Every structure is written in C-alpha cells, then in structure tokens.
Amino acid sequence: MIEITHGDTTTLGARCTRDGTNFCLLARSASDVDLLLFDRVDDAEPARTIPLRDGGHRTRNYWHVHVAGVGPGQLYGWRVRRGPDAPVDDRADQEKVLLDPYAPGVALPRGPVREAARRPGRNDALAPKSVVVQEDDFDWGDDEPPEVPLDRMVIYELHVGRFTRHPSSGVPAELRGTWLGVTHKIPYLLDLGITTVELMPCFQFDEQQAPAGRRNVWGYDPMSFFAPHLGYATSPDPRVARAEFRTMVRELHRAGIEVLLDVVYNHTAEGGADGPTYSWRGLANSLYYTLDEGTGAYADFTGCGNTINANESVTRRMILDSLRHWARDMHVDGFRFDLASILSRDRRGRVLRNPPVLWDIETDPILARTKLVAEAWDAAGLYQVGSFEGDFWHEWNGKFRDDVRAFFRGDRGVAGRVAMRILASPDVYEAEAREPEQSVNFVTCHDGMTLNDVVTYADKHNEPNGQANVDGNNDEVRWNGGVEGPTADPELEGRRNRLVKSMLAVDLLAVGIPMLAMGDEFRRTQHGNNNPWCETLPEDSPPGAEPHPPGPYDVDWTTLARHRDVHRFVRELIALRHQLWPFENRHRLTLTEFLRRTRIRWHGIALDKPDWSEPSHSLAFGVEGDTWELYTILNAWSEQLEFELPRIHRNFGVWRRLLDTALDAPEDIRPLDDARTVRSASYVAEPGAVVMLARPRAPARR
C-alpha cells in the first residue's frame, strides 16, 4: 500500500527513509508537477502517477512528496507543466518525462532515446529514467585517500572504455571496457610508476549525440551530474554501475593510486534550441543555461550548443552538490574541469573578477582534501592559463605542450620558452605566488593526436568522424618527417622514436606535475585522427544497442610488444624522477621562492653561454642537488652538436650517463647504479636527442 504525504525539501533528489522515499525537485515557474513511477525502463505508461499541486507539496520553487513503500531500485521521472507567469525563455515540453537532475542512478531504454526527446509529444517508453538508490549500501572496508604529495604525482589520463576494450588488453571478455576492467590493469599502472589516474568523463552521457550511424564515445555530453555511466558497467542496472565504480576506486586506492574525474560543468547533452529535452531545459531553462537577453537563444561559449549558467545560485548549488557527491559518496580524490573558464562567466557570458562558483568549490570543507585541476580556457577564446581564479587550483599548461612540440619540430624562437616550461613556466605563473605544481605539464592529452601521431602525421585524418574532416584542431603542432603516416624507412622510424622519447623525457623531468596520455608510453596510434570523440556503429545496429564492440581507437596492447623500448624508457624515466629528481618541493615553497633556491645554470654548446637567439634550437643546463649534480642537453638541431661538460670538481665524482634518447635500448636509459661513465670533456648529442648526465657529490669531510 503506497501512502503519500507532503514530504520535505531537506535534500534534492530521491532520499531513502525508514519507510519509503522522499522526492524533491526544483521546478521554477511550474504550475503543477507529476511524479511518475515506472515498473520497467521501457514502459509506455507509468505504473503510478502522483500529481503534486500547490499547497503541501510546494515550497517556493521546490516540489516535494514522501512515498511510503517505495525504495531502492524504483524507476521514476517527472512531468512538469508551466504556469502562465513562466518566463518566455523557459522552454518546457510539458509532455516529456524529465530526469531528476540529482538522481545518482539513470536507467536507459534501448532505442532512439535522443530523437524521442527532441520531437514533440510524450516519450515515456524511450525516456531515460531516474533510479532510487541507497547511498550507504557499499562496503568500503578501510578505504582511505592516498593523498599523493604534489611533487610525487604522475598523472595518467585514460578513457575507461577504450583502455581495456581491445581483446589484446588481457582483461576477461565480460569486463573489457568497464570500471572493473580498469582494476585488472592496476599492476600495469603500478609497474609503470603511475600515482594518479585521470578518468575521462564518467557521468552518464549521451552516446547518441553523434552524427548518423555513429555513437559518442568520449562522454563530453552529460545527461546527469550524479550518475556513473552505464556503458562502463557489466550490467545495465544503475545500482551495478555505482557498485562497480566504487569497487574500481577502492581497488585503486588499495594500490596507492589516486582517482581524478574529468568533469563537464560547462554544457549538457541537451544542446541548442533543436536539442532534446532530458531534464534542465524542462525544469528551469533560464536558470540552468546562459541565454541571450534579447532573443532568449542559447549562448554557445562551449562549441556544444549551450552553456551552463554556472554562477546562478541554483546551478552553483547543483555543481557543488555534484562534486560533494563524488568526493564524499564515491571517494574520488579530485577533479579536472573541462573548459573551466566557462565557470568564470556570468549569466550574460561576461568574465567575472571573482567567480562565486570557483570560490564556492575552493572553500568547501568536503572538497578541501581534493585536487582541483582546470582546463583554463573555453571555446569562445577566453584563455586563462596563468590567471585562473583561486588559490589552490592546478592548471593544464597548454603552453608547455605547444612549446615543447614546437622546439623539437625545429621552430624558431622557442629555446627560451622551453627553458621556462622546464622550470614550471615562471613567465606564466610566477606572479600568482603559487607553488611550482600549479603547472600540469603534458605534451599530449585526449584532445589532439597521440604522441606517436604527432611525429607521424602532418595533417589530421578525421574523416571517420563523419564531419568531412572539418572538426579537430587545425593548428596543432605536428609533423611527419617527410612521409605522411607509418613508414618502412628505418632511418625515419628511428628519428620518430627518438623524438617521442625526447618529448616524454622533457615532460617527465620538468618542474610541475607531469601527465601522460594513455598508450603514449608505447606509441599508441589513432591513425592521424586528432578528435576521435565518436565511432561508427556496427552495421544494422540500432541506437542504444549493446554491447559495444572494440573500436579503431581503443588501446591496442599488441603495440606494446612492438614498442617495448619506449615503454621501458618511460618506466625507467618515472623511476628516475622519483629517485633522483632535484626539484622536490618539500617545504611547499612558492614558485618564486623555489626558483630562488634552485641551483641551476644555463649553458649552450659552451659552458655558461646559453643561446637564446631566434634561430637557436638547443640548450643545456646543470642543476646542483644535495647529493647529485645533473647536466641535461636538448638538441633540436638537424645535426650533431658537441656540448662542453662542467669540469671535474673536487666536490663531485665522474659523470655518468643516465639517458640519451638517440641510443638504442637498453643504453637509452639506465638505472643510476648501472649508468655508463663519461670521462671526456664534452658530449656529442645527436639531432633531436635529450641527454642527462649525473655525478655524485663527494661526502663532506669531518
């Protein structure tokens, strides 16, 4: 027997109680609201409709009801009717079944869900459904956050589906491409030296937001900010998805690996005016989205059709509640914010000096232990690298990527900039009075080509995306050495391999937090596609069909065997960083203080004579640590260069060669206790090579 009472506004969403569930929804301007209870996800009619009207079920803009006898697993949705006083810019298809924005579980019927949500009229059978879940139904055991120190972090960006979906992954077939599949690769991540995984979007996203005959794979089109993506679970049951996500986090934590989520709070899957009505559009369109004041049209600072009105109070609360949910209930260690500069804009799109939502996030006590990483730009030209608001944010350093690539491509005028990138970009960050780890350094990420493809393709090859190759970055720094695509020429292939190792060396040895994109450590390829956000559906596969077979951009683990030398190089390089890195910031100094204490000397081919001129393509530097002196050479010229070495000094022993990217394995990198000695007064660096030498400091005499 279902008993209905007024309920309360204590918690938005569906909250389980001792004898039922309390439902609470924000629906501004609604004249009446129906709570719809479904027995099955594809039912054409709700099993029970509970109409809510003014009075006991409405408090200001909040609609609420307590339903006894309803518990975990219940499917539900909302139908909202707009009152005569609703703003003209509120678009509400009053027949649509709407998702609860706060539902931590979403169930999806098979079929053209997106199209049904776009066309007028009812969509009950094809509507996504919210699911009641019990928050405390998981055994976390003794789970604790690893809390890896900033100067020990090595981030590995991965896509949950593509990381293990290929048959060569070694993951059991039923677990490939899932949360649990990631747990099978924990030994691999540990062996490589990874401390932190950054997962591409894990919120429930709209796979049908893609050109005809394709599906969205990347996940940058969220349908929910609270529910884990069903496509990464072993079952379409949302409760299974939640449990398996939590299992993945728990097992990564047991291995000492942190979990960061790539979160998308800048737009939603509802798109522009012709997009579907899933949730926010039908509830309070003008609160959740940034609209043109004159026309009511969606502002598009994201390139995805709409822009979230992040600094509106209701939306700010939703973003904060979402982050708290993932940190508190799902034990996530931090977040990377996609197009984070959107969070700096007001409801008109103007840039705010002190964006409330950013300070809300930074000062929230539940989020105080989490790590916050910003992609500090948006699709409308706002670029805030080095000026992103806040005291504790780290930033993807896009300038690091571009300058390191340009240097090894042989561009002019880059040598001085690369020196800055190696030192955590003081030209960008020094004025911020922040720590060196503000800079997250990378040479590749999901956006753009893989590192293998950066040195293999001069042109992008995005035709499989179905957008006539107009999508993706046209200005990405890339080159092919004279041959487009793979080559059988051993000399060219050797040069490409050298450049891959050299850029990885700079990434992993520079000051800041290094980040690797999955598979770069063994030259994964995307065949020249620099925007593989979607993939072709199998023939005769209807929208929403399962399962998802392997795709052309999945990590092909057979590549590891072909490029085992690069994999070994990266593993030893990370170990070298942890063992010998002279830039540890043990005292949490600001970048300015850190550089003041760092004993670094810049050189050219002659000692103390760096070449900062426009045509320069080389540099060298020495760093004197507490127990070691390091000497590093970068040669991006197309010819050999001979570099003078610091002379023998009574405080130091003989030089040992730790790495030379021009040499074949295993001479390309050797452990400290097995490094070759260098007794000459100079060292010849090959074109495109990075060399690092070390010599121990003699013990002090008593």
Structure tokens at 461: 């090859």
Question: 490-509 vs 564-580: helix axis angle to the nearest 10?
Answer: 20
CA separation for the pair 87, 212 (Å, rounded): 34
| Residue/partner pairs of 50-53 with CB below 8 Å, 24 or more apart | 50/4
Structure tokens at 407: 């240097």
Structure tokens at 296: 């009511």
- The answer to whether residue 546 is catalytic is no
> Are the beta carbons of 377 and 339 closer than 8 angstroms?
yes
Catalytic residue from among 375, 453, 507, 554 = 375
**3-class secondary structure per residue, 90-104:** CCCCCCCCECCCCCC
- The answer to whether residue 300 is catalytic is no
Write the DSSP symbol of residue 653.
-
Beta-strand pair 58-59/62-68: antiparallel
> Are the beta carbons of 290 and 348 closer than 8 angstroms?
yes
DSSP letters, 66-135, are: EEET--TT-EEEEEEEE-TTS-TT----TTS-B--TT-S-EE--SS-HHHHHHSSS--GGGS-EEE---T
Radius of gyration of the chain (CA): 27
Read off the amino acid at residue 51: P
C-alpha angle 282-288-291 in degrees, rounded to nearest 5: 95
DSSP letters, 468-507, are: TT--S-TT-----TTSSS----HHHHHHHHHHHHHHHHHH
Catalytic residue from among 206, 221, 262, 338 = 338
Write the DSSP symbol of residue 206.
-
Query: 121 — alpha (psi -120 to 50), left (phi > 0) or beta?
Result: left
CA separation for the pair 30, 325 (Å, rounded): 27
| Residue/partner pairs of 57-60 with CB below 8 Å, 24 or more apart | 57/6, 57/7, 57/33, 59/9
Beta bridge partners of 52: 33
Buried b or exposed e, range 26-45, using 16+ CB within 10 angstroms = bbbbbebbbbbbbeebebee
Per DSSP, the three-state class of 516 is strand
> Are the beta carbons of 278 and 227 closer than 8 angstroms?
no
- Taking alpha carbons only, the member of 273, 277, 345, 285 closest to residue 314 is 285
Q: Which residues are catalytic?
A: 338, 375
